[in-house]
Amino acid sequence: MVVPEGVRRRLIEDGRRFLGLDPVPADRTIAALHSNEADVPGLDAREMAQFKRIRLMGATGSVLMAITALGVAAQPVLGNPVSGLRVLGVFARWQTSSLALSMLGNALVVLSWLLLGRFCVGGLGGTPTHRISRSQLDRTLLLWIVPLSLTPPMYSTDVYSYLAQSQIAAKGLNPYVVGPATGLGVDNILTRNVPNIWRETPAPYGPFFVWIGRGIAHIVGNNVIAGVLCHRTLALVGIALVVWALPRLSRRCGVAPVSALWLGAANPLVLFHLVAGVHNEALMLGLMLGGLEFCLRAIEDDPDGDGVFGRKSWALLIFGAMVITLSSQVKFPAIIALGFVGMALARQWGRRQIRPLVWSALVMGVVAGVVMLAVAEFSGLGFGWTGTLYQAGAVRSWMSLPTLVGIITGFGGVLLGLGDHTTALLSITRPIAEAIAAVLAVRMLLSTWAGRLHPVGALGVALAAIVLLFPVVQPWYLLWAIVPLAAWATEPAFRVPAVVFSAVVSVVEMPRGADYAAFQIIESAIAGLLVVAVFMFITRRQLPWRRRPGVSVASHRTAPYGVTS
């Protein structure tokens, strides 16, 4: 078959434009999500008073959640220290009341976060007249995190799987082969705390995380409370790394650090699922963003701009690449960040030239290979983790687009009398979605190489595609994309969906992810809504529930943060 020359040329041009190799109007690409943010003055006296009330309101909600967590959180089945106590145990006996108070605390934190956005991003449709300082946001974040860091696990029981898998490794067994029931026994205190669906499941996490968990297991043994506190400390270390790296990355992208921290670190999904929920995404994101900052510091801060690195630049680059690789040994998708570092490096060495691209890929590949081999060797865990990456695929998550399509189509088949073919449909939709995600990720890589997208933004978009098209999506998985994109994407097209999703999902999730009776949920929700409505009415003049136009200081000239590509 002979393809006409004009058609062939058009196909080539469209293909190059799709891959980001040829120019495309900025307003028709992902780049339209970004614009430089301007510096603005600090809060005036009236706004400062409102800010202090917002900070106190969020702290009150956080404390309320921490107290009621003694009754409605994911308490251990065995080893619960408050079980049977007269005072502290009352929250477990008064479940409906505790659930209502927990929902109220949850709503107060979410509303406080939304109100705080007035002084960080200026609402969803504009820029703030005045903005809080970095120190003010840091102190607010710390005040909200501390109570949640002292609670039993909330919204998830995954930490009990961490403890059981770590104990399996501490016993000298392979956690990538045996699950808690087989490795520890069904009567073991750690196994009893693991949900039934995961008791026979080997560890799906990377060897670096399991290695750290094994060290924790050697220290605390079967002590559930001490183990949870150790893993929460690990999560807080990850959050600290995010708070360190995110403002630095945002300045590289021309975004106000306070804006990035508000959406990426003070986000209720971070507070509820990474801090209170003790998920290892905190460590993964912290290491990934920290390593990315070190790498970009070596690449973008080249004093001569000629791509000739000195000893310090090479040390920063290699160290950053090592840290990113370690993040992938917590959860493997973080490895994609190395690809964007490699593309930024190739562009610095020679724009659109193949040889620098090959050398860059070689450098990143060698560093990643050496780190993975070192972790596999020194941990003694080998590469068994590569065979358990898809263990969570047994769960059907409605937030996963291919899974949702498969479930809806399968249900339609049942209604039409064709039978339930959901499993067969999922075997088709999931591979197709994974292929689309791979294409989009390559598109973002090439856009970075061509200089059309900053590596931070391109990484966030690629992770968003991977998460949304992943076979299984949990609410906190979206943080893989929201956190890096918070440092780059500033337009309402990104911020509005991200804020709405974060707020809605944070409110509707139950404190321990377990099933409550319908009447308990309805009664608790009604009680919480009534209290929130009364509170909003009482504070309608004290808190900025409605946006009011203001005027910046006349003598203040706005200037953009940093420079973006």
The pLDDT value recorded for residue 417 is 65
The pair phi, psi for residue 337, each rounded to 5°, is -60, -30
The pLDDT value recorded for residue 435 is 87
The pLDDT value recorded for residue 30 is 79
* pTM passes above 0.85: yes
Nearest to 189 by CA among 213, 208, 217, 209: 217
Paired residues of 560 in beta bridges: 38
**Contact by Cβ (8 Å): 456, 252:** yes
Give the DSSP H/E element, type plus range, for residue 249. helix 224-252
Q: List Cα–Cα distances, 121 to 38, 256, 504, in angstroms.
A: 11, 9, 19
Q: What is the DSSP letter of 477?
A: G
The pLDDT value recorded for residue 545 is 78
Q: What is the DSSP letter of 548?
A: -
15 Cα distance to chain centroid: 32
The pLDDT value recorded for residue 199 is 85
Report the alpha-carbon distance of residue 144 to residue 503 in Å, rounded.
Answer: 16
Residue type, 30: I
Residue type, 162: Y
The pLDDT value recorded for residue 388 is 74
**pLDDT tens, per residue, the chain with 565 residues:** 555 666 566 666 656 655 555 555 554 577 778 777 777 878 888 888 889 999 999 999 999 999 888 878 777 777 666 666 666 666 666 777 788 888 899 999 999 999 998 888 887 656 777 788 889 999 999 999 999 999 889 888 889 889 999 999 998 888 988 888 888 888 888 888 888 888 888 888 999 999 999 999 999 988 888 999 999 999 999 999 999 999 999 999 888 899 999 999 999 999 999 999 999 999 999 999 999 999 999 888 765 555 567 788 889 999 999 999 999 999 989 999 999 999 999 888 876 678 888 888 999 999 999 999 999 999 888 888 887 776 665 566 666 677 777 767 766 766 666 666 667 777 777 788 888 888 898 999 998 888 888 899 999 999 999 988 887 778 888 899 999 999 998 888 888 899 999 999 888 887 875 567 777 778 888 888 898 899 888 888 888 877 665 433 333 444 555 544 3
Question: In angstroms, how far is the first alpha carbon of the chain from the final one?
Answer: 43
